[in-house]
Structure 1
Amino acid sequence: MSEGLTVTHRRYVPYSHAHYGGSLVDGAYVLGLFGDVATELCVRHDGDEGLLAGYSAVAFRAPVRAGDVVEVTARLTRVGRRSRDLEFEARVVCRARPDRSESAAEALPEPIVAVTASGTVVVP
């Protein structure tokens, strides 16, 4: 396993993470999820949790809201001696529908790409 290795997590976004009007969640929430998938990718590839050293690019493309289900993926794009380059993507796959009722939600017919990023992890 090397370049192309992909790890995906899905997570429900709880209402306790809403920070802004319209139940919007701050961008740091998704960056934390990127750290989680990067950790699993390092464990699978290197047998070590590794450390996220930094992002070279982050783009917030669509809102993430409380009540969403997000699918977060990390893909290994380059393997160096101690560094690994990763591409990240967060997609909203389900969304709350408070216009219907307090607990209504729907699986989206097409995921919404909410955040993309590139980053580097280091491993011992």
Structure 2
Amino acid sequence: MSDPREGLTVTHRRYVPYSHAHYAGNLVDGAYLLAMFGDVATEASIRADGDEGLFASYSDVQFRAPVRAGDVVEATATVTRVGRRSRVMAFEARVVCRGRPDKGESAAEVLDEPIVAATATGTVVVPGPVTG
């Protein structure tokens, strides 16, 4: 019998400010997406277990496409396995809007198809029962 928490999904969207661009072409480092994964994992843990949990590890991280300042990025966490104290989650970050500086300083567009920028698998642990 599967745990009812399996399949729980949380999604956050965030505008990527120009202050986070570190590289030529206004590229943003991968750590920005990992921070977003941490945020969605925290909310998923709160919803699943009533506790923020602690991120223990990533077993896989794949950076698939660039993220640039001016993008709107959507990060999703889905609980895929529930252990006694561990929760395995699948993560995906997608660019859903992109700045269009070629059309004007503040021009941007909603993408017809989101661009998958990163995927990951990670494990969060929640505390055991408090005794005392």
Query: Which amino acid is the alignment partner of residue 91 of structure 1?
Result: R
TM, length-normalised to structure 2: 0.93
1:94 to 90, 94, 97: 97
TM, length-normalised to structure 1: 0.99
Aligned residue for 1:98, secondary structure, equals: coil
Q: Which runs of 5+ in 1 are unaligned?
A: none
Deviation digits for residues 9-65 of structure 1, max 9, x if unmatched? 000000000000000000000000000000000000000000110100000000000
Q: Which has the larger radius of gyration?
A: 2
Distance 2:41 2:60 in 1: 15
Query: Which amino acid is the alignment partner of residue 54 of structure 1?
Result: S
Structure 1: 4+ residue segments shifted above 6 A: none
Distance 1:23 1:54 in 2: 29
Aligned residue for 1:9, secondary structure, equals: strand
CA RMSD of aligned residues (A): 0.4
Distance 1:110 1:6 in 2: 20
Residues 1:39 and 2:79 are matched in the alignment: no
Q: Which runs of 5+ in 2 are unaligned?
A: 128-132
Q: 1:100 Cα deviation (Å)?
A: 0.5
Residues 1:25 and 2:28 are matched in the alignment: yes
Q: How many residues align?
A: 124
Distance 1:58 1:72 in 2: 14
Distance 1:54 1:33 in 2: 15
Q: 1:99 Cα deviation (Å)?
A: 0.3
Residues 1:52 and 2:50 are matched in the alignment: no
Distance 2:112 2:73 in 1: 14
Query: Which amino acid is the alignment partner of residue 64 of structure 1?
Result: V
